[in-house]
Amino acid sequence: MLKQVQHDQKKKIMHYFENEHIGYKNNQLYVEEINVNELAKEFETPLYIYSKNHFINQYKEFENAFKNINHKIFYAMKANFNLSVISTFVKLGSGVDANSEGELYRALKTGVDPSKVILTSVGKTKNEIKLGLEKNVLMIKAESEEEIELINKIAGGMNKTARVAIRVNPDVDAKTHPYISTGLSSNKFGVDSKTALSIYKRRKDFPHIQFTGIDMHIGSQITSIDPFVEAVQKLSELYFEIEKDGLKLKHFDVGGGMGVSYNSEKIFSINEFAERTIPLFKNLDCEIIFEPGRFLTANGGILVTEVLYNKINGNKNFIVVDAAMNDLLRPSIYHAYHHIQPIQKFDDRNEIVADVVGPICESGDYLARDREISESKSGELLAVMSAGAYGMVMTSNYNARRRGAEILVDGNKYHVIRSRETFDHLIWDEKIV
Ligand SMILES: Cc1ncc(COP(=O)(O)O)c(C=O)c1O
């Protein structure tokens, strides 16, 4: 028998995370019109399930907030790179922000026009730069002077002109987890404003480059608008200096980073974000680019897992489930909070405080720590909420665990958009010598 929370705390503790597309009907969890329990029975757990219409709504909300200014959204596919997810956004008119050759390969597989792809990454290889130029992507975001020299050389060798935006590190504190803060001068990303200006001014030294943009991305899961405003103001000053020097940029890229609610916390709405930033953008005479990832996908996904065992070690309750850090890494590396709730609500369940842990041989393998949660029995299912961003993309085969399937729900239909890996996947192309 697991240790229970005092009964008088019961009401205070219990809450369920729901939104327009993921919620309970008759005490059973649904993604849109599809019963999660039935999907889990058919496809086993761990299982990722996404709501297509949540993705679409988030995109439209973003798009609508900026409809009165010259802008374009480039979905940051690193958040969720399943081909069907990328394609959902591409069909809505989105471009794609790709962070590696592999991401570029995936993006192009969806049929997106390369002129709607941006190539990012703090450490692009020669091959990545070559591929970006070969495919004629809209622009390559360069993050160091050495990289700019290399792009110039490679483009020259290919008889091409590379379109480049310099990623500027505005030295603004995004007040997010240190691992996903990217706009401080102590972070590895971009170059400082002074260096950027000097490169733009020396553009004649790079005859195979056309500088078409300026870029920033100050971090992820940012929950206040202020850091964005500060960074846009700083970057705008640079934009005007560049303009004064006779260079007219076509794109002002704000990056992504707009936060979402993981635990009923209040986050700014995209309309509030637009209200604060549009006056700043209106001063600029160019296209504003956004690269949201998490905002578009996080709350449109869940990870379903089965309870294997309940136990007490020392003074602590543990719920051992069949999903592990290889299936969802965020809690282990960022101490990220994901709400966990039952697929089937029961009125008579006690509340406990427990660690929800996976089967991997690491103490860091957990989905929740000291979590107030309703008691669940072996064989029952739990949903790890807000798993649509930085979930499946960070999975691994650690402990030779097979990755689960991904299902995309669209109203009363669902599609298997990736099957569970087979054991053959685990040893693909390995040899015993
Ligand atoms: C350059 C760049 N753009 C966009 C994003 C997307 O960020 P988010 O998912 O927080 O919107 C990232 C995430 O790390 C990024 O590195």
CB neighbour class for 66 (10 Å; exposed up to 12, middle 13-18, buried from 19): buried
Encode 21-42: b = buried (16+ Cβ within 10 Å), e = exposed: bbebeeeebbbbebebbebbee
Last residue of a domain, one of 298, 315, 342: 298
Q: Closest Cα partner for 152 from 199, 200, 203, 208?
A: 208
Q: Is 217 in the pocket of ligand 1 (CB under 6 A)?
A: yes
Q: Does 303 map to a domain?
A: yes
Q: Which residue has the tokens 């600029």?
A: 284
> In sequence order, which residues have a C-beta less than 8 Å from that of residue 249 and are 6 or more positions away?
165, 211, 212, 213, 214, 239, 242, 243, 286
Q: Which of 11, 26, 361, 424 is catalytic?
A: 361
| Residues 11 and 122 both lie in one domain | no
Is 361 within the bounds of a domain?
yes
pTM: 0.96
Q: What is the pLDDT of residues 198-235, one digit of tens each?
A: 999 999 999 999 999 999 999 999 999 999 999 999 99
Distance 403 CA to ligand 1 centre (A): 24
Alpha-carbon distance of 165 to 145, in angstroms, equals: 12
pLDDT at 14 over 90: no
Q: Can you tell me which residue has the tokens 């730069």?
A: 129
Q: Is 294 in the pocket of ligand 1 (CB under 6 A)?
A: yes
Coil, strand or helix at 210:
strand
147 CA to centre of own chain: 25
338 lines ligand 1 (CB under 6 A): no
The answer to whether the CB of 120 is under 6 A from ligand 1 is yes
Whether 12 shows a pLDDT value over 70: the answer reads: no
Cis peptide before 292 (omega within 30 of 0): no
Provide the CATH number for the domain around residue 191. 3.20.20.10
Q: What type of residue is 122?
A: V
Best of 220, 222, 223, 273 to mutate for ligand 1, by most ligand atoms within 8 A of CB?
220
Is the domain of 245 the same as that of 344?
no
Question: How far, in Å, from the CA of 1 to the mean position of ligand 1?
Answer: 44
Per-residue pLDDT band for 380 (boundaries 50, 70, 90) equals: very high
Ligand 1 nearest atom to the CA of residue 294, by list position: 9
116, 101: one domain: yes
Please, which pLDDT band fits residue 7 given cuts at 50, 70 and 90? very low
CA distance to 196, 263, 269, per residue, from 266 (Å): 36, 9, 9
> Tokens in use for 197?
């200006």
pLDDT the model gives residue 305:
98
Same domain, residue pair 140 and 184: yes
* Same domain assignment for residues 350 and 288: no
Identify whether residues 351 and 209 lie together within a single domain: no
pLDDT of residue 364: 95
- Ligand 1 centre and the CA of 311: distance in Å? 39
Do 327 and 258 share a structural domain?
A: no
Averaged confidence pLDDT in the chain: 95
- Alpha helix (H) ranges present in 66-139? 83-91, 101-109, 126-135
Q: Which among 78, 251, 296 is the best mutation to test ligand 1's pocket, defined by most ligand atoms within 8 Å of the CB?
A: 78
Report CA-CA distances (Å) from 1 to 144, 190, 311, 316, 346: 58, 54, 8, 12, 18
Whether the Cβ atoms of residue 327 and residue 395 lie closer than 8 Å to each other: yes
Selection from 28, 4, 20, 48 nearest residue 342 by Cα: 28
In a domain, 2, yes or no: no
Q: Which amino acid is at 204?
A: K
Establish if 433 belongs to a structural domain: no
Nearest CA to ligand 1 atom 12: 256
Are 183 and 293 found together in one domain?
yes
Provide the pLDDT for residue 163.
98
Q: Which atom of ligand 1 is nearest to the CA of 291?
A: 4
Does residue 211 share a domain with residue 123?
yes
Q: What is the pLDDT of residues 32-72, one digit of tens each?
A: 999 999 999 999 999 999 999 999 999 999 999 999 999 99
Are 68 and 248 in contact by the 8 Å Cβ rule? The answer is no
Is 291 near ligand 1, meaning CB less than 6 Å away? yes
CA separation for the pair 63, 51 (Å, rounded): 19
Do 117 and 36 lie in one domain? The reply is: no
pLDDT value of position 13: 56
Stretch 259-281: mean pLDDT, rounded? 96
Residue 246, Cβ density class (10 Å: 0-12 exposed, 13-18 middle, ≥19 buried): exposed
Q: Which of 62, 113, 20 is nearest to 292 (CA)?
A: 62
The average pLDDT across 401-413 equals 98
Do 220 and 357 share a domain, yes or no?
Answer: no
Return the DSSP state at 5: -
Rounded to the nearest 5 degrees, what angle is found at the Cα of 167, between the Cα atoms of 163 and 170? 150
Q: Is 126 in the same domain as 169?
A: yes
Mutating to test ligand 1, I would choose from 89, 267, 291, 299 the residue with most ligand atoms within 8 A of its C-beta, which is: 291
Confidence category of residue 1, pLDDT binned at 50, 70, 90: low
Q: Distance between terminal CA atoms of the chain?
A: 51
- Residue 1, in any domain of the structure: no
Q: Is 361 a known active-site residue?
A: yes
Domains in the chain: how many in total? Answer: 2
Q: Is residue 387 part of a domain?
A: yes
Query: Cβ distance 45 to 343 under 8 Å?
Result: no
Q: Is residue 78 part of a domain?
A: yes
Which of 372, 342, 368 is CA-nearest to residue 356? Answer: 368
Residue 183's pLDDT band, with cuts at 50, 70 and 90, is confident
Query: What CATH number does the domain containing 411 carry?
Result: 2.40.37.10
Cα 433 to middle of ligand 1, angstroms? 42
Q: Ligand 1 pocket test: which of 62, 85, 97, 334 has the largest number of ligand atoms within 8 Å of its C-beta? A: 97
CA-based R_g, the chain, Å:
23
Indicate whether 6 pLDDT > 60.
no
Query: Largest Cα–Cα distance of the chain, in whole Å?
Result: 74
Going from the Cα of 144 to the center of ligand 1, the distance in angstroms, rounded, reads: 18
Q: How confident is the model at residue 4 (pLDDT cuts 50, 70, 90)?
A: low
Distance CA 417, CA 286 (A): 37
> What domain range is 121 assigned to?
52-298
CA distances from 395 to 48, 101, 403 (A): 11, 19, 7
Report whether residue 255 contacts ligand 1, using a CB cutoff of 6 Å. Answer: yes
